[in-house]
Amino acid sequence: MSEEKVLFLQGNEACVLGALRAGMRFFAGYPITPSSEIAEISSIELPKVGGRFIQMEDEIASMAAVIGASMTGVKAMTATSGPGFSLKQENIGFACMAEVPVVVVSIMRMGPSTGLPTSPAQGDLMQARWGTHGDHPAICLIPSSVKEMYEFTIRAFNLSEKYRTPVILMTDEVIAHMREGVKLQENYEIIERKRPAPGAFNYQPFLDIDGDGVPPMAPYGEGYKFHVTGLSHDENGFATNSPEKNEKLLKRLKYKVDKDAEEIATYSEYLMEDAEYVLVALGSVSRTAQNVARQLRANGVKAGLFTPKTLWPFPEAALKRHLSAAKLVIVPELNLGQLVLEVERIVKGSCEVKLIAKASGELFKTDELYNQVAGVIGE
Amino acid sequence: MNNTLEYMRENRLPHIWCPGCGNGTVIGALIRAIDALGLDTNKTVLVSGIGCSSRAPGYMKFDALHTTHGRALPFATGIKMANPELNVIVISGDGDAAAIGGNHLIHACRRNIDITMVIINNNVYGMTSGQYSPLTPTGRLATTAVYGNIDRTFDLPSLCGAAGATYVARASVYHVAQLKNYIQKGLENKGFSMIEAVSICPTYFGRRNKLGDAPAMFNWIKENSTMYKQGVMEYDKQIVIGEFVNKKDPEYTKSYTELIEKLGGNK
Amino acid sequence: MAERTEFRLSGSGGQGIITAGIVLAEAAILEGKNAIQTQSYGPEARGGASKAEVVISLGEIDYPKATVPNYLLCLTSEAFRLFGADAPEETVVIVDAFVDTEGSSRKVISVPIIQTAQSDFKPIVANVIALGFLVAYSEIVTQEAAETALLRRIPKGTEELNKKALAAGFALAKTAG
């Protein structure tokens, strides 16, 4: 018998528990498969800790409501899947522009449109980067286990609070719905947003006083009386047509995340030392790929697996570092080729990159992926 | 009273609205209502969407959220739910509230969440230069209805009343005393309140429809208004002024607070 | 214990197949093993064919689904047709005694699960009897762990019924040889 306490949790359940651990006190959502358990469990747990849950009239409204809640100083989250993620994009852009910390969970299913509601897919990777219009910062975490669903949700809140920006937690249906044993740490670091000094009522809500690109954020209702708009704005939060101020704002929004990109970006590696054949995979596919890499090693092929844990920013420098012995990079993904675009951009011709695409609404089986990878290596 | 300016951000003036616009009149009424009730300005949040009227919070000294088109109510719902102590006021226009935001409007009414919404109805999309809205009377002209509008209009008080709002009234930019009183009663109501302020847009609605200048449009409202119970609503023929709904029903955030208390979440 | 033991439980929606899978996996977790439970999800989980899979291992489990199940349970003829008839040779196929296997040469172990539930208990506990059978037959987890895990996932007031049904499943495994 194990000494440590192990919880047996579903992925979506672990997400809610992680959110509560991070201090979530508000959830707004709309029913959508395969993320509905997140709303259901939030509706059960939040009122017990004095938090609040609301099922809004649509996906757009639930995105709006979490931003409104966050403006009062409360940590807020919503959850959805592809069709709802599409609908949320405009207000995700608002949260980027108005610099409002919120966590948006999106459990990927087959698309486009209604697609296959209960089948795993990874077709929304670029939507998590460029789903909303205009230049904007993007942080997207991709768990591939139930434990990571818990821990990455905490990290999603931490990053959103630290950088005053929406953070996307995205994975596929397999990870969201499977149940797995989870050993939690005793302590997790919890980050709270920077606030202006109490009573500093001449506060400028968009002034980068610390030089880190992240202005302090006051809650509504404490006398700061500040104005927030989705229009391009000055340091005081009022619309401006000044070309200099507009560009300064957009550059700061990009800078505040870019400057720490390598610190934000995380990944895991498996059998990567001296790997000549590098698999790059995320979410549920990384689990199949790990099995395949192990089998290949057992058969004398120097294979390894690199798993991005943040999709955006992508762990670019880390991937480059791991390609010193690489002859071939192989990207299996549950879409017709999205992750491979980012990998090709990073590899930039230093070695060959091959895509193994699957878009049938099923997870890669181990034998299937092994045979395909072996086939690609043999070419 | 003369302290209206205390509520304004004078450094944000001049405003962007056209000469003769009714928006300033409505804001004046709102501020006098807030002043009459002595609302704590530190605990009062203004929320708006997109359009001419939605720029109003930018000129007023409160916490303010200028959101996306049609979405002021769900943002406001998040604010009110997360901190029910705040007074939450939404300022919207006819296109923002009744077209793109129509679904949010009926659901805010249905929940009876304690938000006061002032809809400034100028019968047209002004910010985008005069397209027809759900409140443009049938037959009227607009840049997207140059052959005459064939759409029918919403009757906002009937819509909101049927959807469950507990305070519903209509006044106009001519009836400023009633407008202030209705907004004040809306703010006092513990539930969802909708006050329609019939307004004018001389630039894009009046001119195209040959309704004359701003004073002429004010005069038209004056001469064609009637109190509720004396007629039916037809924006183009007569403006029915009055209180349509004033009742008590459970308020949404209070019901949720009671749930928290029942589950011991307040301890 | 093998590196990886895989179970596929199949039947029709409403038979409690998924709950049985969850309990089996949780029993393994209670014993300090690693376990993952997945399920078929969608319309077929509410009336059509229903499937739950459990992978149990002492080591890390990467691929979360069953590849070549060590044990396959089919509670309906439809489930047998879908998963049982073509099951790999290594797979032990356990079918309910009501399942129609005519026309298939597949070797199966036939167990009166539903009959036992109907005559000795209530039809609703067929999944618990099946769970008891799988636990005792495979010896993947102890019977105590299975009972502890089961009691966590059932409605209050049904403890005695469920414990007895589980024990009936254990007993069926003894005679199945």
Q: What is the torsional sign of CA B200, B202, B207, B213? A: positive
| Rounded average pLDDT over A78-83 | 98
| Position B267 in a domain | no
A201 has a chain B CB within 8 A of its CB? no
Q: Say whether both A39 and A152 belong to one domain.
A: yes
Asked whether the beta carbons of residue A72 and residue B86 sit closer than 8 angstroms, the reply is yes
pLDDT given at position C52? 95
- Which of A141, A162, A183 represents a domain boundary (last residue)? A183
**Is residue A154 pLDDT above 60, yes or no?**
yes
Q: Among residues C138, C149, C144, which one has the least CA distance to residue C56?
A: C138
Mean of pLDDT over chain B: 95
- Which of A130, A163, A183 represents a domain boundary (last residue)? A183
Q: Phi and psi dihedrals of C133, rounded to 5?
A: -60, -50
Least CB-CB distance to A180: which of C36, C42, C67? C36
**Is residue A277 pLDDT above 90, yes or no?**
yes
Furthest-apart CA atoms within chain A: distance in Å: 69
Per residue in C5-38, pLDDT tens?
999 999 998 899 999 999 999 999 999 999 999 9
What's the domain count of chain B? 1
Q: Which domain holds residue B251?
A: 3-262
Which of C9, C22, C23, C29 is best to mutate for the A interface (most A CBs within 10 A)? C29
| Position A374 in a domain | yes
| Position A237 in a domain | no
| Rounded average pLDDT over B223-241 | 79
| Position B48 in a domain | yes
pLDDT given at position B229? 75
**Is residue B232 pLDDT above 90, yes or no?**
no
Domains, chain C, ranges and CATH? 5-176 (3.40.920.10)
The A residues from 258 to 287 touching C (CB cutoff 8 Å) are 284, 287
Kindly indicate the confidence band of residue A101, based on its pLDDT and cuts at 50, 70 and 90.
very high
What's the domain count of chain A? 2
Least CB-CB distance to B58: which of A26, A72, A227? A227
Kindly indicate the confidence band of residue C40, based on its pLDDT and cuts at 50, 70 and 90.
confident
**Is residue B1 pLDDT above 90, yes or no?**
no
A8 has a chain C CB within 8 A of its CB? yes
Least CB-CB distance to C63: which of A33, A117, A287? A287
**Among A276-280, B140-144, C47-51, the least confident range:** C47-51
Work out the number of other CB atoms within 10 angstroms of the CB of residue B205: 25
A29 has a chain B CB within 8 A of its CB? no
| Position A85 in a domain | yes
| Position B167 in a domain | yes
Using alpha carbons only, what angle is made at residue C62 by residues C60 and C67, rounded to the nearest 5 degrees? Answer: 115
Asked whether the beta carbons of residue A284 and residue C64 sit closer than 8 angstroms, the reply is yes
**Is residue A379 pLDDT above 90, yes or no?**
no
Can you give the pTM of this predicted structure?
0.96
Q: Among residues B71, B235, B49, which one has the least CA distance to residue B158?
A: B235
pLDDT given at position A159? 98
Q: Is the distance from CB of A50 to CB of A74 less than 8 angstroms?
A: no
Mean of pLDDT over chain A: 96
Q: Say whether both A177 and A307 belong to one domain.
A: no
pLDDT given at position B231? 55
Q: Is the distance from CB of B193 to CB of B145 less than 8 angstroms?
A: no
Residue B238 is given by DSSP the state B
Whether B contacts C, i.e. 3 or more CB pairs less than 8 A apart, is no
Which of A180, A294, A296 is best to mutate for the C interface (most C CBs within 10 A)? A180
What percent of chain C shows pLDDT beyond 90? 86
Q: What is the CATH number of the domain that holds A147?
A: 3.40.50.970
Give the distance from residue A286's alpha carbon to the nearest chain C alpha carbon, in angstroms. Answer: 8
Kindly indicate the confidence band of residue A1, based on its pLDDT and cuts at 50, 70 and 90.
very low
| Rounded average pLDDT over A162-182 | 97
Kindly indicate the confidence band of residue B237, based on its pLDDT and cuts at 50, 70 and 90.
confident
| Position A369 in a domain | yes
Q: Which domain holds residue A28?
A: 6-183
Q: What is the CATH number of the domain that holds B126?
A: 3.40.50.970
A235 has a chain B CB within 8 A of its CB? no
Angle formed by the axes of helices A36-45 and A11-22, to 10°? 40
What percent of chain A shows pLDDT beyond 70? 99
pLDDT given at position C43? 55
- Which of A136, A162, A183 represents a domain boundary (last residue)? A183
Dig out the tokens for A259 from the structure.
Answer: 């400057």
